[in-house]
Chain A
Amino acid sequence: MLRVREELLGRIRAHGVKTYPHECCGALLGRDSDGSREVIELLELANRRLDSPRNRFEVTPDDVRLAERTGREKKLELLGWYHSHPDAPARPSEYDRDHAWPWYSYLIVSVEKGEPRDTKSWRLQDDRSGYELEAIETADRVTSIPSGPG
């Protein structure tokens, strides 16, 4: 379960719209308690994948360390990452899976023709064979129920 305030989801969608047709990316900072997570703050990052930003994103190790340091300063954990899929579903690709880390939440917002659509969060399975859908709970409702990758 990933709790995210609607205001933060709105900022993630707006980031995806701003960078469309390129992918956006950023860090999710918050608190984890036995897998139940709450995102408290976002850290917008630049997509460092300059050769193909329409269908790829990259966060460099320096930016990862910046996100970890920012989290420590605010007494928050680095819970995971968000990125956008321009004109593609909010579902991890094979490329995503090849490059994913366990434990992190991977929140994906689909942006179609410049308009934000679905937002879903995923966690890599321990054996790296696939993802589990992580329910997103906003302040007042659950927006996606776990049902496995589609």
Chain B
Amino acid sequence: MAVKVIIPTPLRAYAGKQQSVELEAATVGEALSALTNRFGELKKHLYADDGRLRSFVNVYVNDEDIRYLEKDQTHLREGDTISIVPSIAGGTRH
């Protein structure tokens, strides 16, 4: 399935400065693997050391959060658009 992945601004430097990347994948998990295989530097910003997506990395398929679909097993259709959307968090040490 040919799909498009929208790269958020803070990660574009790690994805050849591209706003979006076209790739072949049947599921969201496959798409993200293909993306990080192509652009290895993206991996540390998307995945924690335990191999899970970082909690502040949100993935949407055509505007639907994959947490409410089938997560990384969410099936893709030809022409789907996957968006990686940051959430922002922080705070003091105590």
Contact = CB atoms under 8 A, between A and B. Distances in A.
Interface string B46-87: 000000000110100000010000000000000000000111
Given A78-B9, A93-B93, A104-B10, A99 B44 contact: no
B92 A101 contact: no
A58 B91 CA distance: 9
A88 B90 contact: no
A20 interface: no
B56, B87, B88 interface centre (most CB from chain A within 10 Å): B88
A94 B88 contact: no
A127 B58 contact: no
Contacts, number: 88
B45 interface: yes
A23 interface: yes
Contacts of A93: 90-93
B-side interface size class: 20 to 34
Given A104-B10, A127-B44, A99 B94 contact: no
A149 interface: no
A77 B44 CA distance: 24
Interface of B: 8-14, 41, 44-45, 55-56, 58, 65, 85-94
Interface of A: 23, 25, 49, 52, 55-61, 64-65, 68, 77-78, 81, 83, 85-88, 92-96, 99-104, 106, 126-128
Shortest Cβ-Cβ A-B pairs, 10 listed: A56-B91, A59-B88, A103-B10, A88-B92, A96-B90, A93-B93, A101-B10, A99-B89, A61-B58, A61-B85
20 contacts: A55-B92, A55-B94, A56-B89, A56-B91, A59-B88, A59-B89, A64-B87, A87-B92, A93-B93, A94-B93, A95-B89, A95-B91, A96-B91, A99-B55, A101-B8, A101-B11, A101-B56, A101-B86, A102-B10, A128-B44
